[in-house]
Amino acid sequence: MTWVVRAPDRDLERNERRIYTRVRRVLWDYEPLRASHAEIFIDVQGSDVRLRGRVRTSPQKLIAGALVDRVPDTGMVVNDLIADPDVVRDVANALAQDARTAPYVLRVDSRHGIVTLRGEVPNESVVQAATDIATAVPTVTSVRMQLATGGEVYPAVVLSRPSRVADEPNPEAAITGRP
């Protein structure tokens, strides 16, 4: 994959073309974004700019928005870029909330929305559940499965919040040496 800035979906007015060109240039000049092979869509409506697509890191997303915000003659800037750490978090949260996959340690990686799941699970039904869950996450474009089967079956565990009482010091325990 190479650096890609998609052409606008419609013919732009003269002022919109000028803004589009400036935005494209400022994003191209930001080396970490260019080197990461990002795919970015630049939508211009009047003087307003919307960024869509995928970037590798959250800082790249924030910096891209800030750079575009500084482009002369731009109005409102909407940064709808999706960073890979956001995809990883979304998938990990979905897997942790499902009783079929929550008991297992599954490593989630993402590159441009393509998610790779790694780890060890007991059987194919858990592999299928993990695939279904990851595929259902809206920020995911596809899932690569690298889960190994044959691990132990663990029952789902619900962790409760620690009691506030346990956090408070017990002055009597300090004297007697017993909690």
Q: Domains (ranges, CATH) in the chain? A: 4-75 (no CATH), 83-179 (3.30.1340.30)
Q: Quick one: pLDDT at residue 60?
A: 94
| Whether pTM exceeds 0.95 | no
Choice between 168 and 31, residue whose per-residue pLDDT is larger: 31
Q: Is the pLDDT of residue 157 over 90?
A: no
Of 21-35, 59-73, 140-154, minimum mean pLDDT range? 140-154
Residue 24 pLDDT exceeds 80: yes
- Give all strands (DSSP E) within the chain, no chain letters: 4-6, 39-45, 48-55, 77-83, 106-111, 114-121, 142-149
Residue 11 confidence (pLDDT): 82
Query: What mean pLDDT value characterizes the chain?
Result: 86
In this predicted model, what pLDDT tens digit does every residue of 75-115 receive, in sequence order? 999 999 999 999 999 999 999 999 999 988 899 999 999 99
Predicted pLDDT at 38: 86
**Cα-Cα-Cα-Cα dihedral sign, residues 58, 27, 38, 78:** positive
